[in-house]
Amino acid sequence: MDMNFRDEMKKMFEEVIGEIKSGTADFFDEEKKPFPKSEKETQTEKSPVRADEGLQNLGSKNTKYASDYSPEVLETFDNKHPDNDYFVKFNCPEFTSLCPITGQPDFATIYISYIPDKKMVESKSLKLYLFSFRNHGDFHEDCVNIIMKDLIKLMNPKYIEVWGKFLPRGGISIDPYCNYGRPDTKWEKLAWERLSHHDLYPENVDNR
């Protein structure tokens, strides 16, 4: 091996080791990488996906998690199938809130089912909204009713129901259920029928 080449490699290696030790190494500096990001990649990082539809959270690299109840993070998009009725269901097994009396955490699975009209709730914004309950103090029954009312205000669905299945504290688990059907329509009748027949066959609670 050529001595000059070997000396140059040794010198370069020593410089790299010195930069690592001093903390000045820039191997991970985005602007100094040999293959810079394409314009599309840069634009994707800066702008959320489907921003033209008013969605600011979906695909954003700058997601902010609210430290308390924040209904303003909810976002909607247009229902692409308004000509037929269908259910959309969200299963949210990591819901947490605080007991307003003791400040202790409550854990639950929240089930949200609705029949959309013109607008639908965007799922990432719903996740951020539910996350905002983490430091919020409210009773179990209040949580599910607040969630339902916020979603009604947001998208005016034809029908919606929210069911919370909370883990027990003090030997008792609470499973509040609420629903809503648009007044003076068949959906109002559906809401009463589902409410009156709700939980006719209670599950065995042996895993909570």
Residue 200 to residue 70: CA distance in whole angstroms: 34
Residue 180 to residue 151: CA distance in whole angstroms: 11
Residue in 26, 29, 68, 99 annotated catalytic:
99
Is 178 in the active site? no
Is residue 136 within 8 A of residue 98, CB to CB? The reply is: yes
Residue 197 to residue 111: CA distance in whole angstroms: 17
Q: Which of 117, 47, 30 is nearest to 76 (CA)?
A: 117
Pairing of the two strands 76-78 and 119-121: antiparallel
Residue in 2, 26, 68, 106 annotated catalytic:
106
Hey, which residues are catalytic here? Answer: 99, 106
